[in-house]
Structure 1
Amino acid sequence: MDRVAKILFVCMLLLCMLTGCFDANLAKQREKQAGKGDSIIIGVPVPREFTEKNTGFLKGIALALEDINSRGVNGKKIKLEIVDDKAVFKNAVDIAQRFSQNTHMTAVIGHFYSDICIPLAAIYEKAGMLEIVPTVSNPELTENNYRYVFQNIPSDKKVAEQMCQHALHEGYKKMVVYYEDSSYGRNLADAFESEAANKGITIIDRCSGFVNDNDFKRAHDKWNALDFDAVFLALNMPEGAQFIKGFRKLNSSIPILSGDGLDVSNFTKVLGKDCEGVVIATISNPHNVKPELIEFSKQYKQRYGEEPDVWAVQGYDSLQLIAQAIEQTDSCSPPVLADYLRDMETMKLVSGDISFNEHGEIQGREVFMKKVVKGTFEYINGR
């Protein structure tokens, strides 16, 4: 059993022990008690340092909270419990257990990373708590047909399809896939490799775990011998920045494509000249002329003095999604809200008109691409 398998086994064993300790009536208690009183309680577990340094996620949620509470939700206010899980699995388990045992809490927005969010979904599901997931694109999240879990972001399969289509258009026939050893990295690498095969693109190497210049040099010599055309990255930050800097020391001309794990607000600032030409998948397009996005961008810039990034939109929309469901159903009961979200035709949000299928996967969202040109992003499609 390799290291990853051992970790997953221990995590699942721990989860089985924890979920077995839950009161069998927890979901029924939440159905009756959620939203009672003056406040609607929603939990937001995040790796706080990362999100505040690299994204506008919490700023987007804060702006949504202001907008919603200025008018109220069926006579109530939303109260957020923002808790730092530090991207540590044990911390996240403790938070999930505490949130789930609070039967007055209606919903949770999160967790931020696949390796935490996917296994912990079982805890929230068992506790009968609505879970809106705006940052985890791994399709594994919805494969268990949970009732209460909704993936508010296009899946890695859609990202892989879009990036392979771009590679094919650019004439890249031989590609390298470099991924991080995480649920996100492995799944996105798998999706890209599968779609590349469908498109006639050959993956000459798939690798992970470079730690020094010698690793880069050996791999680059191998790739050169195999005459590679481009590299696809299935990475988050800061690993993505480390790879690009190391690779650019050896090769300044080979194209680099990436999934949305590198779509953070400070990407160009962190990488400087090394990010020139990098193409990144994104689920937000600032050139969208929909009035909801225009108004949100205006409010966000007035409030924070900067343009919103994709994660600001995701945070804002996720809280608005819950608020609109509560308004439409006049209920804070998670079963009522979950059934409404799954059966609704569309909901108008900043990101567009969306709905969910029977598995809780979002429908109606596009994947765009943007390229760094002279230090700024230019959108390749969907302009």
Structure 2
Amino acid sequence: MKKHVLTGVAAGLLAALLASSAYAQIKVGVGSPITGSDAAFGAQIRNGAEQAAADINASGGVLGQKLELSVGDDAGDSKQGRSVANKFVGEGVTFVVGHFNSAVTMPASDVYNEAGVLEISPGSTNPQITERGYPLLFRTCGRDDQQGAVAAKFLVEHAKGKKIAIIHDKSTYGKGLADEARKGLAAAGVKEVMYEGLNKGEKDFSAMVSKIKSVDADIIFFGGYFTEGGLLVRQMRDQGVKAIIMGGDGIASQEFASIAGPGVEGSLMTFPPDPRKRPEAAAVVKAFESKGYNPETYTLYSYATVQVLKQAIEKAKSTDPTAVAKALREAGPFQSVIGDLAFDAKGDVTRADYTVYEWRKGPDGKVTYVQIGD
């Protein structure tokens, strides 16, 4: 009888221990387009977050707890993004790294705001995301009004007398970026020769190429992502159009060159200084490369987002999202692989550092993006 009682007590203690272990996790959702046309960016965000969480857990976790990731595929679609957000809330997620597409972050953040979940986006750049005043919403990337201004300034200084056409993919991000560049050009007295939208997901842009021909454009400012941007370049070259395309961070992927083909040389884009070249990122970059993975563009932004989240939780001495949000705004700057980061009252990073890149062929014959701006 005594043996049975002791066995029951031991079983109860074991169950309590297991329950405590299960509870001692900080649940973090990672929302990104794992599938769909923007899956290359989704993979970057997922890989960056997973590596950061693994590194943090290996060094003891956060406040004695481990980071437990839940990945949600939003496919770059606003409705699916909302579904992913509801999934995270149902799972008890309290922090989210994501989403990537601005059109997804907008509706998903509505869900998080209502549920009291803190969200930090590594890649959503539309200004309206943080202009809505959500207290638990942040981003580690810049804004389109910042990179649009940089693009416009570059064109004004380096493309005097050139005919500039503006094309966007009608997405929240693409049209927003195009409109910001258009504002910058207009402020400098430059009027575009064409302003048109194409449909994200389309493959045949022959009609658009014909319009570009008709206005004899020298430069195309493109607001959109690498799939449509790459196809547009390829089809322009196929029809003998030599106009140079300039885009934003949405084309900051080697996939852009792969889709565009040889005619991609000379294309321009805006993006922050290459985070892979920062001294703070050296060890992490080496770790990625040892696995045969190139941590380009948003990989390190995602890694940095998890780093910042860890430090803010430790500063707050709490995993309560409201307390962590307060720490994010007041306790920075936070050290990260993309440099020190601090946040303003809106949740934007206080450092805006967009520059200009050109796609060039290297000694190995591979076309990649090379920084040419300051």
Q: Same fold (TM over 0.5)?
A: yes
Which structure would you say has the larger Rg? 2
**2: CA distance, partners of 1:52 / 1:91:** 14
Equivalent residue for 1:243? Answer: 232
Deviation at 1:286, TM superposition (A): 4.9
CA apart distance, 1:299: 2.0
Secondary structure, aligned partner of 2:341: strand
Q: Which residue, out of 262, 265, 269, partners 1:276?
A: 265
- 1:91 equivalent in structure 2: 80
- For structure 1, the residue ranges without an aligned partner over 5 or more in a row are 1-34
Quote the Cα distance in structure 2 between the aligned partners of 1:36 and 1:326: 19
After TM superposition, list the pairs within 5 Å mapping 1:23-34 onto structure 2: none
Q: Is the Cα–Cα contact under 8 Å of residues 31 and 71 in structure 2 kept in the other structure?
A: yes
Deviation by residue 1:245-287 (Cα, 9 ceiling, x = unmatched): 1222234532211111111233222322021111111124157
Q: TM-score, normalization: structure 2?
A: 0.85
Contact 2:82-2:107 at 8 Å conserved across structures: no
Name the counterpart of 1:15: none
The partner residue of 1:357 within 344, 347, 350 is 344
> Against the structure 1 CA distance between its residues 286 and 137, is the aligned structure 2 distance closer, same or farther, given a 3 Å change threshold?
closer
Q: How far does residue 121 in structure 1 lie from its aligned partner after superposition?
A: 1.2
Q: How far apart, CA to CA, are the structure 2 residues paired with 1:195 and 1:235?
A: 18
Provide the rounded CA distance (Å) in 2 between the counterparts of 1:307 and 1:95: 27
Contact 2:244 2:267 in 1 (8 A): yes
Which one-letter code corresponds to 1:354 in the other structure? L
| Structure 2 residue 312 is matched with structure 1 residue 325 | yes
CA shift digits 1:181-235 (9 cap, x unpaired):
11112211110110111122221110022764651353023212xxx33110001
Please say if 1:298 is aligned against 2:286.
yes
1:1-383 equivalences in 2 (<5 Å): 37-50=23-36, 53=40, 55-71=43-59, 72-102=61-91, 104-173=92-161, 174-209=163-198, 212=204, 214-224=206-216, 228-286=217-275, 288=277, 290-302=278-290, 304-374=291-361, 375-382=367-374
Indicate the structure whose relative CO is greater, using CA pairs within 8 Å and at least 6 residues apart.
1
How many Å apart are 1:133 and its aligned residue?
0.9
Assess if the C-alpha contact under 8 Å between 1:148 and 1:335 holds in 2. Answer: yes
Whether the 8 Å CA contact 2:276–2:282 is kept in 1: the answer is no
Change (3 A) 1:237 1:352: same
Further displaced range: 361-370 or 212-221 = 212-221
Amino acid corresponding to residue 379 of structure 1 in structure 2 = Q
Mean alpha-carbon deviation: is it higher for 47-56 or for 248-257? 47-56
RMSD: 2.1
Deviation by residue 1:67-93 (Cα, 9 ceiling, x = unmatched): 100111111100000022223333322
Distance 1:36 1:332 in 2: 16
* % identity of equivalent residues: 25
TM score, norm. by length of structure 1: 0.83
Count of residue pairs brought into register by the alignment: 342
Structure 2: give runs of 5+ residues left out of the alignment: 1-20, 362-366
- Residue 172 of structure 1: how far off its partner (Å): 3.7
Deviations 1:137-185 (A, max 9, x none): 0001011111000022100011111111211221244310000011112
Aligned partners of 1:269, 1:126: CA distance in 2, in Å? 41
52-61 vs 113-122, greater mean Cα deviation? 52-61
